[in-house]
Amino acid sequence: MKRILVVEDYHALADIETLLCQMEGYDVKSAATGEEGLSLIDSYQPDLVILDLMLPGELSGTQVIDKIRGDGREEPKVLVVSALINQTTAPELEKYKNVQTLKKPFKVKELANRVRVMMGADGA
């Protein structure tokens, strides 16, 4: 079963994202900080990380991506879901391999479609 890690500090949104991904048939874990997310990436080894940019603690979402991609890794795929997505941040984030963006607020169907595409046609 394919795995998704949700890194989002707003608990209500994290619950929605988690439930949506579970309904799509994925194994899902969540983290509320960048530090917790990085730890889970190493131990859980998700196929996709749904990541907010504004996180509490010492690591922002962008710093999490820097650390994930810092050793040249192209996996896991990352879907940045943030209110900070704009004409400046989107191109900066998309320079990383396997990173896409989705601006908050979003429609649940839009998130579901994006997750399906990023996870591949074979689903869970």
| Rounded-to-integer distance, Cα 122 and Cα 113, Å | 13
Give the amino acid at 6.
Answer: V
Structure tokens at 106: 């979003």
pLDDT band, residue 70 (cuts 50/70/90): confident
Helix axes 108-119, 11-23, angle to 10 degrees: 50
Question: Domain segments of the chain: what residues?
Answer: 3-119
| Rounded-to-integer distance, Cα 45 and Cα 24, Å | 19
pLDDT band, residue 123 (cuts 50/70/90): very low
| Rounded-to-integer distance, Cα 69 and Cα 75, Å | 8
Find the distance separating the first CA and the last CA of the chain, reported in whole Å.
5
Q: With 60 as the cut, is the pLDDT of residue 124 above it?
A: no
Q: With 60 as the cut, is the pLDDT of residue 56 above it?
A: yes
Determine the pLDDT at residue 86.
85
pLDDT band, residue 54 (cuts 50/70/90): very high
Q: With 80 as the cut, is the pLDDT of residue 122 above it?
A: no
In this prediction the pTM is: 0.93
Looking at every residue in the chain, the average pLDDT score rounds to: 92
Which CATH homologous superfamily contains domain 3-119? Response regulator (3.40.50.2300)
Q: With 60 as the cut, is the pLDDT of residue 88 above it?
A: yes
How confident is the model over 89-104, as a mean pLDDT? 87
